């Protein structure tokens, strides 16, 4: 019985290998972070990138999500590598250690980690690509929009956990506000100094109310789930919010009043990053190391151009963003791409 099942397993394994060989197609595996598809954020964006790749680059894609707590992230990466994937992608900085550990044992498989925490990763194995974003550039754009749109000449920033990661948002945003409107003050607060600071909407609400009562009429949050509290405060008190990472414009919708309090969202397009890394693989250009996506990186799908960093315009916020502002924001993007504006990465560089 036992021998039989082992035999069966071996036969199946071989047949899987044979199929992969016969197709000669690149095969991509992607591991979501806890929560998986349907988070309207990173995981959904990663999935979209995967879909673009499967349609346009003709690669085989498959995906999986870890269980609650995510203790099995590394196991999923390893199993995908063992099953013959050419590239295995982990979505989110929590994959930093698992990707490095798995990559060491599967030197022939490429690994990528979206939003990798490069600082804590140690030396990267040569088959690891760290996909990071120049968030300060995106934050600069939404900062400039805030600077143009503020009525009170006072705008706010709610950060999640203190540290270099969120500081990039803070610095870029502040510089953007000042660029567009030198008179404007930026009030900046953080929700805490641990990851819980990313998951505390009550605290986000509190901080937003505080900033608003001090006169901020626009608040940008870079605080994950904590930011949901900022949106709640905005709907209650009537001020504008700038969402972060994915398109959060819908969160500012006050269905009772029919008014939307989302000014825009700073988009960190995981879909673009995922697509571009797969494209690099297919074109044999994929190199290990840190890959930083900025305003200059984009994907063209049909008539749409998707930049790796962008600000969101949709039906929710179209009424809040006049064409003049959008035009100016796009001009600023061009300037940054051309290198005419240097965007600070930290408060020190500001």
Partner 1 sequence: MPELDREEAKRAAAPIVSLAIAFIIGGIIVALIGKNPLDAYISIFRGAFEDWGFTLFWATSLIFSALAVAIAFHCGLFNIGANGQLMMGALAATYFSLRFSGVPGAILMPTVVFAALCAGAFWGFIPGVLKAKRGTNEVVVTIMMNYIAISAVSYALTYPMKDPGSWIAQSAPLPESLLFPRIGNTLGTDPMVFVAILMAVLSYIFLWRSRMGYELRAVGFNQLASAHSGIRVNRIITLTMCLSGAIAALSYFNYLFAYQYRAISDVLVGTNVGFDAITAALLANNNPVMVLLSSLLLAILYSGGLTAQFELGVPSSFYLFLEGIIIFSMVVFSVILGGKND
Strand pairing of 240-245 and 253-254? unpaired
Beta partners for residue 307, in sequence order? 298
CA distance 31 to 26: 17
DSSP string, 134-191: -HHHHHHHHHHHHHHH-SSSEEEEEEEE-SHHHHHHHHHHHHHHHHH-TT-EEEEEEE
What's the min distance (Å) between Cβ of 26 and partner 1?
15
Cβ atoms of 314 and 249 closer than 8 Å = yes
Binding mask 114-143 for partner 1 (x = CB under 8 A): ------x-----------------------
Question: Judged by CB under 8 A, does residue 111 bind partner 1?
Answer: no
Contact residue for partner 1 among 20, 26, 57, 83 (CB under 8 A): 83
CA distance 278 to 29: 11
Binding mask 151-170 for partner 1 (x = CB under 8 A): ----------x-x-x-----
Closest to partner 1 by CB, 108 vs 340, is 108
What's the min distance (Å) between Cβ of 151 and partner 1?
37
Question: Judged by CB under 8 A, does residue 196 bind partner 1?
Answer: yes
CA distance 289 to 343: 23
The number of residues making up the chain comes to 350
Closest to partner 1 by CB, 120 vs 330, is 120
Closest to partner 1 by CB, 56 vs 79, is 79
Question: Judged by CB under 8 A, does residue 62 bind partner 1?
Answer: yes
Q: Say which DSSP state 317 is in.
A: T
Closest to partner 1 by CB, 116 vs 299, is 116
Question: Judged by CB under 8 A, does residue 36 bind partner 1?
Answer: yes
Question: Judged by CB under 8 A, does residue 101 bind partner 1?
Answer: yes
- Number of chain residues interacting with partner 1 (CB under 8 A): 35
Question: Judged by CB under 8 A, does residue 78 bind partner 1?
Answer: yes
Strand pairing of 27-31 and 60-64? parallel
Question: Judged by CB under 8 A, does residue 4 bind partner 1?
Answer: no
Question: Judged by CB under 8 A, does residue 14 bind partner 1?
Answer: no
Phi and psi angles of residue 313, each rounded to the nearest 5 degrees, phi first: -125, 125
Alpha helices in the chain (DSSP H): 2-23, 42-56, 73-82, 96-105, 118-121, 135-149, 164-180, 201-213, 227-237, 270-282, 323-338
Closest to partner 1 by CB, 155 vs 161, is 161
The residue ranges that bind partner 1 (CB under 8 A) are 5, 9, 12-13, 29, 34, 36, 62-72, 75-76, 78-80, 82-83, 94, 101, 105, 120, 161, 163, 165, 194-196
């Amino acid at each position: 019985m036992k021998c039989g099942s082992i035999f069966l397993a071996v036969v199946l394994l071989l047949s899987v290998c044979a199929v992969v060989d016969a197709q000669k197609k690149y095969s991509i595996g992607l591991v979501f972070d806890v929560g998986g598809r349907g988070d309207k954020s990173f995981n959904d964006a990663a999935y979209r990138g995967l879909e673009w790749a499967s349609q346009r680059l003709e690669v085989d894609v498959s995906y999986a999500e870890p269980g609650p707590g995510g203790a099995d992230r590394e196991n999923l990466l390893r199993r995908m590598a063992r099953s013959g994937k050419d590239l295995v992608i982990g979505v989110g900085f929590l994959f930093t250690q698992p990707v490095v550990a798995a990559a060491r044992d599967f030197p022939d498989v490429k690994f990528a980690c979206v939003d990798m925490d490069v600082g804590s990763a140690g030396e990267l194995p040569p088959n690891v690509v760290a996909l990071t974003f120049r968030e300060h550039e995106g934050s600069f754009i939404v900062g400039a929009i805030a600077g143009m749109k503020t009525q009170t000449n006072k705008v706010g920033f709610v950060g999640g956990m203190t540290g270099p990661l969120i500081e990039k948002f803070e610095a870029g945003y502040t510089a953007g506000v000042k660029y567009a409107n030198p008179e404007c003050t930026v009030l900046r607060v953080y929700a805490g100094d641990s990851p819980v600071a990313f998951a505390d909407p009550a605290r986000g609400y509190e901080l937003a109310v505080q900033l608003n009562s001090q006169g901020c009429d626009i608040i940008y949050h870079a605080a994950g789930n904590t930011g949901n509290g900022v949106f709640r405060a905005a709907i209650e008190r009537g001020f504008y919010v700038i969402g972060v990472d994915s398109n959060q414009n819908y969160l500012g919708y006050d269905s009772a009043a029919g008014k939307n309090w989302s000014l825009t969202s700073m988009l960190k397009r995981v879909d673009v990053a995922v697509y571009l890394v797969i494209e690099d693989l297919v074109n044999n250009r994929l190199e290990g190391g840190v890959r930083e996506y900025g305003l200059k990186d984009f994907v063209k799908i049909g008539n749409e151009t998707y930049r790796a960093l962008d600000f969101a315009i949709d039906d929710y916020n179209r009424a809040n963003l006049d064409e003049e502002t959008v035009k100016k924001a796009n001009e600023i993007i061009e300037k940054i791409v051309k290198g005419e504006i240097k965007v600070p990465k930290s408060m020190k560089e500001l």
